[in-house]
Amino acid sequence: MRAIRVAMISLGCPKNQVEAERMLERLDVAGHEIVPKLEQAEVVVINTCGFITSAKEEAISHILTAARLKAQGAIRGIVVAGCLSERYREEVRQLLPEVDAVLGGGSCEAVCEAVEAALSGCPYERYDDIEQADMGGGRILSTPFYTAYLKLGDGCDNHCTYCAIPLIRGRLRSRPIEELVGEASALAEGGVRELILVAQDTTRYGEDLYGESRLVDLLRALEDIPGLRWIRLLYAYPDRISDELLQHMAGSDKVLHYIDLPLQHAEDDILRAMNRKGDRAQIEDTLLRIRRALPDVCLRTTFICGFPGETEAHFEALCRFVRRHRFDRMGCFAYSAEEGTPAASFDRQVPEDIKQRRADSLMLQQSLISAERGAALVGRQLCVLVEEFDADYGGYAGRSYRDAPEIDGRVYFTSPIELEVGAFVPVDIQSSDDYDLFGALSEASIDAGVNVERS
């Protein structure tokens, strides 16, 4: 088979992004040419997300854009992969006839076959058992060279009543520690300095494989990898934040004092209806233990507004909870009734406009809190990972331990010297806005001998 020019569009979460990177590597090994732009491609692979309505709409809009290009003869084939095709096998085939090849979420290994079939116009579909899917092997990173996601496993056993992910990705399957350390070592050898741990629930890592959470053991093993400077934890679950984990994070010089802890709600009867483990008292105890163990912790969380049965009183209580606990970062979704999930058939569904009004008002409240928490950092010095020179700003842009890529803020700073992308530098924080910080390279630290990788 000759080399085919292939473009990859990956939607949704970092776990899906890792699957796209695995597919890119298999296409590259097979001799196909990965092209950055859709217009340069013969075949486009759209790695879809399918867990809530807005994500499904985004996936379909990308598929229809590709279909228009195909109708114009600009591209010759469309492959749809990922969670939308895994969840809606029949619908993708029947409702999107422009699609040439379909891969289920467990069939990334077959991407070359799918692309070759799409080019030859032969209908192709493959749905391997997602719970048997390989999660290892090479990747072509789609993140900047200095940062990469490490997917600890797939699937989830928590069965929150609003969530379609267990229906799509199956039961919890953790990857062996040795395999993860092998992949992380290869990434570090390739220049990765920041490793971001992702899974549906990172705090349950290993429970299926080893009968208990082995997250701390995994962190210990990853810390020994030369070259890795930052290890960041996303998607933690509140009832699994152990004292052992917190003590380990407190004593580590690589595991960042950053915890992404989706709480979803704070009212007991809503948490129960969501089938969330733990009640508000346990959540508040967890937040207290986190802040005691990691006083400088950056806490990110997520809430769902408008869950069936949520009253104005529940919502007001949630607002008070958010004001009391003052998270550094917060996301908020209006509840999306997903067919096949228990909550979609619950009584007392909340009207769309009320759901959205609550989500918007909670985000507005949070923007004030984020601004105050940012302002409290003025006068501090932060270690910043240099990401680029921002000509509009007239200085560099980067991230501190408080900033996960794509979802959090940045640090903009001036520097009298030229800096290397991927370098870690001390920055004196001088001002802030709702989400970003502004400052200058710490000359005092440089004079005091702080190592700065100059270009």
Give the residue with the Cβ less far from ligand SF4, 299 or 437.
299
Distance CA 354, CA 371 (A): 26
Number of residues that bind ligand SF4 (CB under 6 A): 9
Q: Which listed range, 80-88, 127-135, 159-167, 279-287, lies at the site for ligand SF4 (CB under 6 A)?
A: 159-167
Near ligand SF4 by CB under 6 A: residue from 40, 65, 142, 158: 158
To ligand SF4, the closest distance from the beta carbon of 343 in angstroms equals 11
Instruction: Examine residue 156 and tell whether it contacts ligand SF4 (CB under 6 A).
Output: yes
Give the residue with the Cβ less far from ligand SF4, 25 or 201.
201
Q: Which listed range, 2-10, 62-70, 144-152, 154-162, lies at the site for ligand SF4 (CB under 6 A)?
A: 154-162
To ligand SF4, the closest distance from the beta carbon of 242 in angstroms equals 17
Q: Which H or E run contains 354? A: helix 352-375
> Residue 291 in contact with residue 252, Cβ under 8 Å?
no
To ligand SF4, the closest distance from the beta carbon of 261 in angstroms equals 11
To ligand SF4, the closest distance from the beta carbon of 391 in angstroms equals 40
Binding marks (x or -) toward ligand SF4, 195..234, rule CB under 6 A?
-----xx---------------------------------
Binding marks (x or -) toward ligand SF4, 283..302, rule CB under 6 A?
--------------------
Distance CA 452, CA 86 (A): 47
Query: 355 is written with which tokens?
Result: 């759901």
Q: Which listed range, 58-66, 155-163, 214-222, 287-295, lies at the site for ligand SF4 (CB under 6 A)?
A: 155-163
Give the residue with the Cβ less far from ligand SF4, 166 or 409.
166
Distance CA 343, CA 274 (A): 7
Give the residue with the Cβ less far from ligand SF4, 48 or 147.
48
> Residue 433 in contact with residue 374, Cβ under 8 Å?
yes
Instruction: Examine residue 337 and tell whether it contacts ligand SF4 (CB under 6 A).
Output: no
DSSP-derived secondary structure for 64-90: HHHHHHHHTTS--EEEEEEHHHHH-HH
Instruction: Examine residue 159 and tell whether it contacts ligand SF4 (CB under 6 A).
Output: yes
Q: Which listed range, 152-160, 213-221, 320-328, 419-427, lies at the site for ligand SF4 (CB under 6 A)?
A: 152-160
To ligand SF4, the closest distance from the beta carbon of 135 in angstroms equals 16
87 three-class SS: helix
Q: Which listed range, 151-159, 207-215, 243-251, 311-319, lies at the site for ligand SF4 (CB under 6 A)?
A: 151-159
Near ligand SF4 by CB under 6 A: residue from 166, 170, 306, 422: 166
Instruction: Indicate left, alpha or beta for 348 from its phi (over 0: left) and psi (-120 to 50: alpha).
Output: left
Query: 363 is written with which tokens?
Result: 């985000």
Using the structure block, give the residue that is written with the tokens 């152990």: 242
Give the residue with the Cβ less far from ligand SF4, 338 or 403.
338
Kindly give the residue spans of alpha helices, DSSP state H, lying in 211-296. Answer: 215-223, 243-251, 268-273, 280-293
Sequence-ordered list of residues with C-beta below 8 angstroms from that of 271, at least 6 positions apart, any chain: 264, 265, 278, 279, 280
Using alpha carbons, select from 98, 77, 65 the residue that is nearest to residue 32: 77
Q: Which listed range, 54-62, 161-169, 221-229, 383-391, lies at the site for ligand SF4 (CB under 6 A)?
A: 161-169
Applying the rule CB under 6 A, the residues between 173 and 202 that interact with ligand SF4 are 200-201
> Residue 28 in contact with residue 20, Cβ under 8 Å?
no
To ligand SF4, the closest distance from the beta carbon of 175 in angstroms equals 17
The amino acid that residue 119 corresponds to is L
Using the structure block, give the residue that is written with the tokens 């009183």: 313
Using alpha carbons, select from 142, 131, 170, 168 the residue that is nearest to residue 27: 142
Using the structure block, give the residue that is written with the tokens 């700065």: 452
Give the residue with the Cβ less far from ligand SF4, 77 or 206.
206
Near ligand SF4 by CB under 6 A: residue from 99, 114, 119, 160: 160
- For residue 138, count other CB atoms closer than 10 A to its CB: 13
> Residue 390 in contact with residue 425, Cβ under 8 Å?
no
Residues that bind ligand SF4 (CB under 6 A): 156, 158-160, 163, 165-166, 200-201
